[in-house]
Amino acid sequence: MVNVQPIKGVQGQADERLRETDNPSSQVALFGPDQPLRLDCGVDLTPFQIAYQTYGTLNADRSNAILVCHALTGDQHAANVHPVTGKSGWWETLLGPGRALDTDRYFIICSNVIGGCMGSTGPSSTNPATGKPWGLDFPIITIPDMVRAQAMLIDRLGIDTLFSVVGGSMGGMQVLQWCVAYPKRVFSALPIACSTRHSAQNIAFHELGRQAVMADPDWRQGRYFDYGTHPHRGLGVARMAAHITYLSDAALHRKFGRRMQDRDLPTFSFDADFQVESYLRHQGSSFVERFDANSYLYLTRAMDYFDIAADHNGVLAQAFRGTGTRFCVVSFTSDWLFPTSESRATVHALNAGGARVSFAEIETDRGHDAFLLDVPEFLEIAHAFLQSAAAARGLPQAGN
Amino acid sequence: MVNVQPIKGVQGQADERLRETDNPSSQVALFGPDQPLRLDCGVDLTPFQIAYQTYGTLNADRSNAILVCHALTGDQHAANVHPVTGKSGWWETLLGPGRALDTDRYFIICSNVIGGCMGSTGPSSTNPATGKPWGLDFPIITIPDMVRAQAMLIDRLGIDTLFSVVGGSMGGMQVLQWCVAYPKRVFSALPIACSTRHSAQNIAFHELGRQAVMADPDWRQGRYFDYGTHPHRGLGVARMAAHITYLSDAALHRKFGRRMQDRDLPTFSFDADFQVESYLRHQGSSFVERFDANSYLYLTRAMDYFDIAADHNGVLAQAFRGTGTRFCVVSFTSDWLFPTSESRATVHALNAGGARVSFAEIETDRGHDAFLLDVPEFLEIAHAFLQSAAAARGLPQAGN
């Protein structure tokens, strides 16, 4: 009999994850019935809440605030220990004292997106009408909805204009949407490894992930909370698929090649003979411990729907016409999920709209994930762009 | 409540498929206990059978035989109506009267690979020891095993030297393996869109597909026949993932872009809003009707293990040293599964080994699947190469 090691269905940290949904280990802004969130699908979401972390200090004239927008499976814990996994923040390469997102100089806000599962209202939150998790009764949300909710948070914090909005991947989509929806409220913008609309191939990969989740009988039409199950296996498979797209062929080759896992010869089995196999299985298993399957469906859908030009008569440049925001657009040479051509299209539209824009394509073999990694050239460019924007904004140097 | 349309678990043509496993609508070569197939894993497979189709007529001196090797999910029905799906053959672009694989001139053999599910012995075949399907008791097979079985079929047909061995993708791997294992039995070889070893990224995509199958509870540790189930959903997800890799981003964009399916506006649901979504779901659903899930596990594993250099002290050129075979290596510009760089590496090794080799990189945006499609430049090059080889072999013109 051939050996088999299917992906593990770990429930390990499920309790911590569920607790975070309604009562997160973060600051929370509650928006009551007087402040509904008007969604693109036509629904008024109310009441709702946004969970967020802040780093650094808001200055007296409230001019040093930076909003960090997280990616699909990210959350508000950008630079602190994660309350579920115990791991360090996902953007500590960029965010901290003396770094590009300098906590000695700026006041940095990072909020969980609407539809997420770490404390902002989403499908795993309790639906006040039923006292049970929303599940698929949660309305479909869009990137503009996420940004509209963030703007309400920024209002709540008493901030009129953000010094900068920064993010990669789905976070970069939010950055661009901020500049389109609230051009006067964004002094500078750093959209990284993203695009103004999701490509057919990217939609295809997302649909694959959704089908993997929905194919898991433990998903139970999204009502897994009622049954005490969670579609670990389906979500794990979805994560494996997504993870391949986050890396480059070259990075996989350098990292793993065809090296075997703890052995020299093939086992002639379905064991994880190759290191890349056990790595992927680990990625799948560890992800399901910290993420809600329905959130994954909703957030991938939001990215698929994103299409700035479609909201502007099909003319992307119209979306940015007359903007006063300073842009720095960043792409990575080996990113095949959001290739440089997408960023170039964004830059062309910004130029056509008369924007002040710089563009950096960073040479790296680390794929889409490069924006989360210690890629010195990228970190330096982000640092330099924000310093230059800070000077233009008249912000004092750190420590002054 | 948000609408949901998970992938269908169609059992439609399952009966026809199961019938094909042991009693295929093809010619069958049976190999009894006196002729076991010695597998790389050390097992002697016996008895076993090979199901095959032939097209055209073998000439008097048996010098005009071409072996066509099929890809992962292909089979022996290269140029006839498929007995399960009723669709036309998968290589009718290339195979037929007057075409590159000219049935007026050559005798063409196409056999189902060992491990397949269309009549050659594989995991869904009846294990004579138990009277039940092999399932995971079937031994792990490799590309060299497939080729060794094909060589036994060619012996059985009384053919000493093949005029040509031709195939794409996993079929191309078999072509290369033929030239390594039986250099004197191959006059010419046409390996298309393939490589001499599977890359880390390709192993990763295969592992994803295997995990999708194994995550389906209907897979039942490979014993689904005992339970009257089949892991349709898992296999459908695996097929969706694979299908994305067979196309190019450009092809998906041209074919679907962000066009909606039978609607103008998003439904704000998990419906297949985008054409690319319904296309992929269809690909998943139709595949599971004709393919066995365990075969999918075994054949992807065989591709992952493939590594010609590893079998030759790590030196690829050694594998081809002194070969007399004429090669034409073909790649497609938009194929990111087996990119041109892989074919170039093969060509370099062939050159270093002293082989007579031509190389064509075909400009097309149709991705890996291009070898199955009507890509005129590719069809012409294949035609010209075989004609030139036929002249060198002294084969008469068709009709002479």
Chain B contact for A32 (CB, 8 A cutoff): no
Query: What average pLDDT does this structure show over A177-205?
Result: 97
Select the residue of A200, A257, A270 nearest B301 (Cβ to Cβ): A270
Query: What average pLDDT does this structure show over A259-270?
Result: 86
CB–CB contact A207 B236 (8 Å): no
Chain B residues 180-199 with CB within 8 Å of chain A: 197-199
Question: Is pLDDT of A1 > 90?
Answer: no
Chain B contact for A165 (CB, 8 A cutoff): no
> Which pLDDT score is estimated for B387?
98
Residue type, B324: G
Query: How much of chain A exceeds pLDDT 70, in percent?
Result: 96
Contacts of A7 in chain B (CB under 8 A): 211, 214-215
> Which pLDDT score is estimated for B262?
81
CA dist., res. B76 & res. B110, Å (int): 5
Which among B305, B284, B283 has a CA at the least distance from the CA of B197?
B305
How many Cβ atoms are within 10 Å of A211's Cβ, its own excluded?
27
CB–CB contact A258 B198 (8 Å): yes
Instruction: Map residue A167 onto helix, strand or coil.
Output: strand
Structure confidence by residue, pLDDT tens digits, A15-50: 778 889 999 999 999 999 999 999 999 999 999 999
First-to-last C-alpha distance (Å) of chain A? 70
Chain A contact for B306 (CB, 8 A cutoff): no
Chain A contact for B345 (CB, 8 A cutoff): no
> Which pLDDT score is estimated for A263?
79
Task: Per-residue pLDDT tens, chain B, 400 aa: give them.
Answer: 455 555 554 445 667 788 899 999 999 999 999 999 999 999 999 999 999 999 999 999 999 999 999 999 999 999 999 999 999 999 999 999 999 999 999 999 999 999 999 999 999 999 999 999 999 999 999 999 999 999 999 999 999 999 999 999 999 999 999 999 999 999 999 999 999 999 999 999 999 999 999 999 999 999 999 999 999 999 999 999 999 999 999 999 999 999 988 878 888 988 888 999 999 999 999 999 999 999 999 999 999 999 999 989 999 999 999 999 999 999 999 999 999 999 999 999 999 999 999 999 999 999 999 999 999 999 999 999 999 999 999 998 875 5
Contacts of A311 in chain B (CB under 8 A): none
Task: Identify from A252, A270, A273, A335 which residue to disrupt to test chain B contact, counting B C-beta atoms within 10 A and taking the largest count.
Answer: A270
Distances in Å between the Cα of A204 and the Cα atoms of A68, A337, A351, B188 are 27, 11, 30, 39
Name the percent of chain A in helix, strand, coil, to the closest 5.
40, 15, 40
Three-state helix/strand/coil letters over A298-328: HHHHHHHHCECHHHHCCCHHHHHCCCCCEEE
Chain B contact for A399 (CB, 8 A cutoff): no
Q: Would residue B335 show up in a list of annotated catalytic residues for this protein? A: yes
Q: What is the largest CA-CA distance in chain B?
A: 71
> Which pLDDT score is estimated for B9?
45
Q: Is B11 exposed, middle or buried (0-12, 13-18, 19+ CB in 10 A)?
A: middle
Question: Is pLDDT of A54 > 80?
Answer: yes
Q: Which long-range contacts (CB under 8 A, 24 or more apart) does B57-61 make?
A: B57/B107, B58/B107, B58/B157, B58/B159, B59/B107, B59/B395
Q: Compare all CA atoms of chain A with the CA of B306 and give the residue at the minimum distance.
A: A258
CB–CB contact A2 B137 (8 Å): yes
CA of A130, closest CA in chain B: separation in Å?
A: 13
- Catalytic machinery residues of A: 169, 335, 368
CA dist., res. B293 & res. B388, Å (int): 41
CA dist., res. A63 & res. B396, Å (int): 85
Q: Compare all CA atoms of chain A with the CA of B243 and give the residue at the minimum distance.
A: A204
Chain A contact for B317 (CB, 8 A cutoff): no
CA dist., res. B134 & res. B83, Å (int): 23
Contacts of A207 in chain B (CB under 8 A): 240, 272, 274, 276-277, 280-281
Domains of chain A, by residue range, sit at 21-199+307-393
**pLDDT level of residue A262 (50, 70, 90 thresholds):** confident
CB–CB contact B140 A4 (8 Å): no
> Which pLDDT score is estimated for A137?
96
CATH number of B18-198+307-393: 3.40.50.1820
Torsion of CA A221, A226, A232, A238, to 10 degrees: 30
Question: Is pLDDT of A5 > 90?
Answer: no
- Reading the block at residue A209, the tokens are 């992930």
Chain B contact for A214 (CB, 8 A cutoff): yes
Question: Is pLDDT of A12 > 90?
Answer: no
Select the residue of A200, A276, A304 nearest B257 (Cβ to Cβ): A200
Distances in Å between the Cα of A148 and the Cα atoms of A83, A178, A303, A325, A391 are 26, 8, 15, 18, 28
**pLDDT level of residue A278 (50, 70, 90 thresholds):** very high
Chain B contact for A301 (CB, 8 A cutoff): yes
Instruction: Map residue A233 onto helix, strand or coil.
Output: helix
Structure confidence by residue, pLDDT tens digits, A335-392: 999 999 999 999 999 999 999 999 999 999 999 999 999 999 999 999 999 999 999 9
CA dist., res. B74 & res. B333, Å (int): 23
CA dist., res. A277 & res. B101, Å (int): 38
B189: β partners? B165, B327
Select the residue of A6, A276, A297 nearest B270 (Cβ to Cβ): A297
Sign of the torsion angle spanned by Cα atoms B195, B198, B202, B207: positive
Q: pTM for the full model?
A: 0.94
> Which pLDDT score is estimated for B7?
52
Residue corresponding to tokens 């097309």: B364
CA of B25, closest CA in chain A: separation in Å?
A: 30
Parallel, antiparallel, or unpaired: how do β-strands B326-332 and A37-38 relate? Answer: unpaired
CB–CB contact B210 A270 (8 Å): yes
Q: Compare all CA atoms of chain A with the CA of B267 and give the residue at the minimum distance.
A: A41
Interface size between A and B, measured as CB pairs under 8 A: 189
CB–CB contact A136 B1 (8 Å): yes
CA of A106, closest CA in chain B: separation in Å?
A: 37
Parallel, antiparallel, or unpaired: how do β-strands A44-45 and A37-38 relate? Answer: antiparallel
Instruction: Map residue A343 onto helix, strand or coil.
Output: helix
Question: Is pLDDT of A399 > 80?
Answer: no
CB–CB contact A211 B284 (8 Å): yes
CB–CB contact A208 B280 (8 Å): yes
- Reading the block at residue B131, the tokens are 């009277």
Kindly give the residue spans of alpha helices, DSSP state H, lying in chain A. Answer: 14-22, 143-156, 170-181, 200-215, 224-227, 232-246, 249-255, 275-290, 293-305, 316-320, 340-352, 376-393
**pLDDT level of residue A261 (50, 70, 90 thresholds):** confident
Chain A contact for B277 (CB, 8 A cutoff): yes
Task: Identify from B5, B145, B219, B237 which residue to disrupt to test chain A contact, counting A C-beta atoms within 10 A and taking the largest count.
Answer: B237
CATH number of A21-199+307-393: 3.40.50.1820
CA dist., res. A111 & res. A125, Å (int): 16
- Reading the block at residue A221, the tokens are 């039409």
